[in-house]
Each structure stands twice: as structure tokens, then as C-alpha cells.
Amino acid sequence: MTEQYWERVGSLREFGDQDRISVIIDDVPALIIRSGETYYAIEDVCTHDGQPLTDGEISEGQIECPRHGARFDLMTGQPKCMPATQPIRIFAVEVRGEEIFASSDAPEENSSATAEKQSPNQAVQPEQLSEEKPAEAGTTPVSELAPMVGDMLDELKKVVDPELFVNIVDLGLVYDITEENQDVVVTMTLTSPACPAGPQIISQARGVLESMPGVKSAEIKLTMSPPWTPEMMTDDARDQLGIF
């Protein structure tokens, strides 16, 4: 078994009145976050579209991406809401006296520490987005399992806005996906309330989802709150549209 490598990344004095400090761990930008007596270490990059989380609001053990509002669990790194579907990287952190150490070797359960009592071996059950939990394997045929949110997003990428020629996921039109008993509800918007392609996009979105194994029905709920802005596009979409 290889020994875990710890590097000193900062000091408690650097916090001042702040609840976070920016550091470098394993050559990547990271945040050390203080919440009460507990410290967390996370990579400072949103997995949705690369936005730094530096200024993200922190509450109830989660940090919110300031760009499109994805939230991540500080302990596990798991996404808690759309549009992010992938976890952020987390690191083990230990406070030794006034000094803060972090380790890039950390398994997820080693992600936080307290100043008084280090907890590198605290057992944590990583939480998943509720809609991403597959049904009990072994008791249900695979064809009857509801698909994962990531797979549904991949399918929705087949739906292309006929005016912009960019798929609706990269355009940032899909706000949320929930699934219960294989009934899927997608909350999404359009680039404008009067978008003439709206009915076509909605029909295609419903169609691609209902053709997936494990989906009984798909409902598309339109919302104009928040209204779509070009800021919601991914870098891929901006590349395709030649926006820099």
C-alpha cells in the first residue's frame, strides 16, 4: 500500500473573516472551505462548463456555481442539481495546528476535516442525484430500469435548434430532469418566448426520451424563468456559433 502524500496548502490565518481560501492542490486550483469547525477541499472548477466556484454561495453543505446555478455537495463533490451532471474533484484535508494540509490521493470519504478532530477515515455514503439512482439491479431487468440523467442528456443532444443549429443541451435550454417510476419530466426553456421552433423542439425532445428503454412517458414543461441568455451556452455551443 502506498503512503498517502500530504502537502501544506495554507494556514488558518489566511481565512481572516472569509469562509474560503484559494489554494493549489496537485497543481490544480482549489478551494479550502470552512464551515463551522469542518474544512473541505474541492477543485475550483464547475464540471458543467468550467466556471470557477470561487465566488459560489455556500449553504447547507453545498456550493452553488455562480454561472448557471449547479450545486455540488462539499463532502462528496456530487452534483445536486442540473445543469451539472458530473462530480467536482475533492481532496482530503487535515488541519494540523494552524497549518492546512491536503492530499490528492483522497478517496471520497476522506474529504473533510475539523480543526479539533481530524476525520480522514470518516465513512461517508456518497449521495447521488435522486434521479440518477438506478433501480435495484438483480431484481429488475435492465430494459426496465430508468435511464441515468446523463444518458437522457446525451439523448436530448440529438434535438437541435433549427435556427441556431446547436443542440438544446449545449444551448443551455434544459434546466432540470426528474424521473419517478420511469415517468420523466424535463423543465426547459426556449431562446425566446416567441421562438417559432418551440413546438418542434418540444415534440422532438419528448420523442427522443420516450424512445429510450426504461422511459414510460416524457413530459416537457416550458418555463421562461429564468429567461434564457447566451451566457447559458456551453463553450462548445459558443464555438459552433463563433462567439468568443
Binding site for ligand FES (CB under 6 A): 46, 48-49, 51, 65, 67-70, 83-84
Nearer Cβ to ligand FES (139/229): 229
Burial code of 208-219, b = ≥16 C-beta within 10 A, e = fewer?
bbeebebbeebe
Residue 157 beta carbon to ligand FES: minimum distance, rounded to whole angstroms: 16
Residue 235 beta carbon to ligand FES: minimum distance, rounded to whole angstroms: 9
Longest dimension (CA), the chain: 62
Nearer Cβ to ligand FES (69/87): 69
Residue 48 beta carbon to ligand FES: minimum distance, rounded to whole angstroms: 3
The C-alpha cell of 47 is what?
Answer: 464540471
Nearer Cβ to ligand FES (88/146): 88
Q: How far apart are CA 219 and CA 221, in angstroms?
A: 6
Residue 64 beta carbon to ligand FES: minimum distance, rounded to whole angstroms: 9
Residue 56 beta carbon to ligand FES: minimum distance, rounded to whole angstroms: 9
Nearer Cβ to ligand FES (61/83): 83
Nearer Cβ to ligand FES (51/119): 51
Residue 204 sits at φ, ψ, to 5 deg, of -70, -40
Sign of the alpha-carbon dihedral angle for 163, 166, 169, 175:
negative
* Triad 205, 231, 206: Cα angle to 5°: 5
Q: How far apart are CA 45 and CA 29, in angstroms?
A: 8
Nearer Cβ to ligand FES (105/154): 154
Residue 15 beta carbon to ligand FES: minimum distance, rounded to whole angstroms: 24
| Residue 158: closest CA among 150, 149, 166 | 166
Contact 177, 198 (CB under 8 A): no
